[in-house]
Structure 1
Amino acid sequence: MSKRRLLIVCPDASGLALLTSMLKSLGHDIDEVPNDRAALRLIEREPVDLVLACVDPGDSDCLELLTYLRRKHPGSAAVLMFPRLHPERSKEAIRQGAAAVLRYPAPAAELRAAVLQALEMAPSRRPSPAPTDDDRPALAAEPATPTPVDEPRPAPLPPAPPASREPAPIGTDPALRQILGLANTLASSSAAVLLQGEPGTGKSELARRLHQGANADGRPFVAIHAAEFGDVAGLDDPSAPRRDPGQEWQACLARAAGGTLYIKEVGALGAALQTQLLREIQLQDMEAASGRNGSERRPARLVLSTSEDLASLVEQGRFRQDLFHRINSVCLTAPPLRRRGDDVELLAEHFRARFAREFDRPVVGFTRDALDVLRRHDWPGNVRELQGVVQRAVVLCHGPRITATHLGPILNPHRGARSARANASRPHLALAVRPLKEALEEPEKQIIIQALQALNWNRQETARMLDINRTTLYKKMKKYGLLVDEPMWVD
């Protein structure tokens, strides 16, 4: 991916050096100027992708550079930094188009997250060269000729289409970047790909990236949860129409013809559809081996995901062994958030900036206590859980910064200590033996409760967060006794 061009405006030489050092790791070209006048001269010579400006909110003309950018260079993003809090000026800057307003000096992670978010919303101003065969996997989503609508892209990571509801895989964790690099390499291939990972780790976004790289000309992307085939969705409603899984399978292939068919939780497919899937993969392999280019038909590229251990399902007789070996040969595993270190802080800032803009809230960051709470949490719901927690916090926050209180009881930093002390005082409870099935179900119940609390008991959003359909969520809530006050809950 080509570099973006950043311009830092700061009257203090040491401040310029500090901000440049914080952003250097993003890998973009950085120019430095001491004032607005120098910035205007540089931008007129060559427009930039993003301007990071340190301004005094007490000056009446502190937003002049922002006004100029909106009028003359609307494609350039702007991030402002104030040396002191000024909620009114921050609101005005956001209304005038600033991507974010930060306190100067800001923590490096907070600054980088704001810049990544701003670049995601700003189109690249540099023309993409015609890709060579060697470059094509990395550049497949950057056509050489401009498209009518520029796609928003997180930087410095590979481009992604904006339509996914799955949280974008933003971060600097080496394991994540390795997976994204492999996804770029596989994008130009037609081979079936299996995506593994816990719920909420970004598998759907990876699927869309694979699709965009291989189908940058707007071919269809069809996503369906494996449990939605057949009459699964009608189990709780006897009046719901029954469906033929085979017909639905063929309909999905037809809708995705020439594009990508993404099947979530492939382990939930019934035996008949597992056979259909295996036949389709074998047919595509035979067509590729014979050199046929799909003139007789337009096959859909198959991308499959799972949060289960498919090898275990094979041992239990619930998944075909031959199908498992066929799809497991090309596999990407999304890392869980708890293993991604500083990405928690980076993603939290990304979501904070996004929801502050969406809800028009003057929230410019997190307090240190709040960040400590975020770092300590183990995130069983992964990035999707973090997204829901930050969204809730932005809505509840009426000040400039999110505090630990806004993060809710599920992230209470004292809860674990209280539980440990309680168990220590009652060792007979800590050693109590429960049936294995009940013990294994407890983590699932807690994950569901945490997700429901984070999303104000909205079942539709909770199902999306947990990457299951609403019927499955309803069954599990009923199983765990969470439907007592059902009429009061909002979908």
Structure 2
Amino acid sequence: MYKSRILIVCPDSSGLALLTSMLKSLGHVIDEAPNDRAAVRLLERESVDLVLASVDPADSDCLELLNYVRRKHGHAAVVLMFPRIHPDRAKEAMRLGAAVLRYPAPAAELRAAVQQALEKANASKPAAVPVASEATNRTASAPTFSDWTPSPAVAEPPPIATQEVLTSQAPALPPTDLVRESNLIGVDPGLRQILGLATALAGSSATVLIQGEPGTGKSELARWLHRGTPGDRPFVAIHAAELSEAAGLDDPTSTRRDLGAEWASKLSRAVGGTLYIAEVGALDPGLQLQLLREIQLQDMEAASGRSGGDRRNQGQARLVLSTSEDLAGLVDQGRFRQDLFHRISSVSLTAPPLRHRGEDVELLAEHFRARFARQFDRQVVGFSRDAIEVLRRHDWPGNVRELQGVVQRAVVLCHGTRITATHLGPILNPHRGARAARANASRPHLPMGIRPLKEALEEPEKQIIIQALQALNWNRQETARMLDINRTTLYKKMKKYGLLVDEPMWVD
């Protein structure tokens, strides 16, 4: 089988890595370039069959690479990805024979566009290209929206006139009452965008990896994804370590049961529904292989059309995985299969840590207070102001899970109507309270709500960044330009405030 050569050009390193991982499953040879100059140097050394480039349509030079490819490599197909709508640039790119997609694009749509672009380029590639017919060959070398027919599994993109093909905004949030049934409540933009993306994925059968620190609500997100399953379908949750133990792998003196049979048993319990494997990095190497084979099998059946749409209707289980470990680091250490990592990381969600969610701490605390007050029949109606300050100042290393436990114990300890700092202090840090009391003994009394200056100044900075990102459709380059800072500074501040929820996220 002939392997085509694909050149991916993307200035964002994480985006470049994700685009590469999504296309590796096609089996072609992939080269990478961070910018147009590096791409041209590579093209001068070796020709390629297709160029996939992420470009900013606001840049007046955004089509220079396309023009170069058309002049020097007329046989090569070109697919351009725009992060935002720009009809004029899109029409010009299509006039030059390039396909135009939104960035980020759904993985299935991207793969379909690349495959069909390669098929058209290979079909129209002549043995020798006469100079007189070069323009004709250029136009035929890549698909356009007018002649590109997606595979049945991918919805046909709308005409460019509708301006929807390049839209990359997050889906609308689910109803508030559904959110409150879980612990996924809050007003933080990072959480809201993650919930919107999870809602979009809920109706899909794609394998999803959920990343995040312990206690951030990964299992809640897994159940949220399961809500899209029609009817009363099973949700089977198991920890990867338990799965290995169930297979008889942790006792070297015991008889090791057949991994294939054990894996089949777990899958059979989740047929038609969802199999959620928590902390997938803890899987035994043998079970990693079983998981890889299952994903490959499902992908093959989906590609062949035998699954008939939703593979869960064909006796299969949708796979949702989670990890609080750095799987890429485990790959480097030889503890996790690289091929499995690339398979499961192409569609992923990242749960933001609680310390980056601002006032969500208070909202969640009130949510848990009401729940446990009913559960334990306590007349606890709220928190005192000093209790709220204690909650705000804590860094929550255990995230939402820690907050839930703290509020539960505080409700049990409270014999009045309000939870005070006295109920929270010993729970959060038994030593901090005594040290703070001694340190504050000689200080004058400060009005309630006074915070350290650095901490107080961070909140308005975060809100300014959020407002700018929202106004510019989360385009980092334009946001950095508006705020008069460089992109690296913006990236660091977004990371600090937990606003990097859009990477990586691919809807398959």
TM-score by length of 1: 0.50
Which is higher, the Rg of structure 1 or of structure 2? 2
TM-score by length of 2: 0.48
